[in-house]
Amino acid sequence: MVTPSSRRLSSALLAATVCLLTMPGCGSDLAVPGTPDSGTPDASTPDSGTPDAGMPDAGMLPTTVGGDRPAKVFIPEDYDAAKSYPLVILLHGFGATGAAEDLVFRLGRQVTDKQFLFVLPDGTKNSNGARFWNATDACCAATPAERQVDDVAYLRGLVSEMEAHFSVDAKRVYFVGHSNGGFMSFRMACDASDIVTAIASLAGSTWNDASKCDPEQPVSVLDLHGTADTTVPYDGASAGPVGTGRAGYPSAPDTVKRFTERAGCDVSMPEDGGRLDLDATVAGDETVVTNYTVGCQDGVDASLWTLEGSGHIFATTPQFPVDILDWLFRHSR
């Protein structure tokens, strides 16, 4: 149980480490004041159980992948090349970095306990120095040049590099994202379904035009969204802000239903999954779990976690990363 004092501590920590950056038409995402650029990622790498100490031979295993867009790699302290491990890639929100995002998600702290490989990539910098993912026509590439960035290819490349250097279980490759990173995670479910097993998105969405998402095979989807989110509203948007030329995006329930249908599930038979406590700033078990599993193809399903009263970003409870990872790891090809 999260106590009032721990909630105050979590809120104070979030306020001290997270600031919001605003981009017209794309909204704002977390960033850490003074966070170094990717040239010095270790300076702000989250505490994840001293993952570097778990690398069996730093001379043989890379600490980053991604070439000139380096992404930090974390492995279990007791990593064994004879075993295969799930791969989790966390995609940050607009204007943030992978390291900053994990201060909220805290997935890195679970690497050894949950036994998985973890990668923290950074998006491309725009003309204002804010990092973005070219996910959909709603978020967050703002110029013709930015819309030429092929982040699907970049992220595919990260998976390939990880498979080349580490013992990756190709049947368990997962993307997790927040806001712009959530949009990008959905984009990977659309365009890279051959390598993606499941995704989890907080405050993200997918193409408004459903025809733009045509995955080769179904991908399991977990959509977390706060009902008080004013940056990427829970109910979606028919179009972007006036003058931006941005498209809209579907609501959280509609987004989940699209992927539910692609998995062959019966959309008319949602299941009550109970409630969870994921937001340390909202009293009680604020998260309503709705699962779609009836009629689905083997190994594929979808879930909507509605965070009642939660905003775009919030202080997370200790259970937040555990519940997300447990959901992801239940899915395998």
- State yes or no: pLDDT of 158 exceeds 50: yes
Give the separation between CA 265 and CA 75, rounded to whole angstroms.
Answer: 35
- Per-residue tokens: 90: 């966390």
The SS3 assignment for 16 reads helix
- The residue range of the domain holding 292 is 4-329
CB atoms inside a 10 Å sphere around CB 256: 28
What is the overall mean pLDDT for the chain? Answer: 86
Q: 63: closest CA among 77, 53, 73, 49? A: 73
Query: At residue 57, does pLDDT exceed 80?
Result: no
Prior bond of 140 cis (ω within 30°): yes
Looking up tokens 């990872």 gives 325
Task: Round to whole Å and give the CA distance between 138 and 206.
Answer: 9
Max Cα distance, the chain (Å): 55
Mean pLDDT of 43-57: 37
Structural domain count, the chain = 1
Q: Which domain CATH number covers 250?
A: 3.40.50.1820
pLDDT digits (tens, 9 = 90+) for 230-276: 999 999 998 866 556 688 999 999 999 999 999 999 999 999 999 99
Q: Residue 7: its pLDDT value, please?
A: 46
| 110-130: pLDDT as tens digits | 999 999 999 999 999 999 999
pLDDT at 239: 82
- Say if residues 97 and 309 touch (Cβ distance below 8 Å): no
* Among candidate residues 132, 133, 136, 138, the one with its CA nearest the CA of residue 237: 138
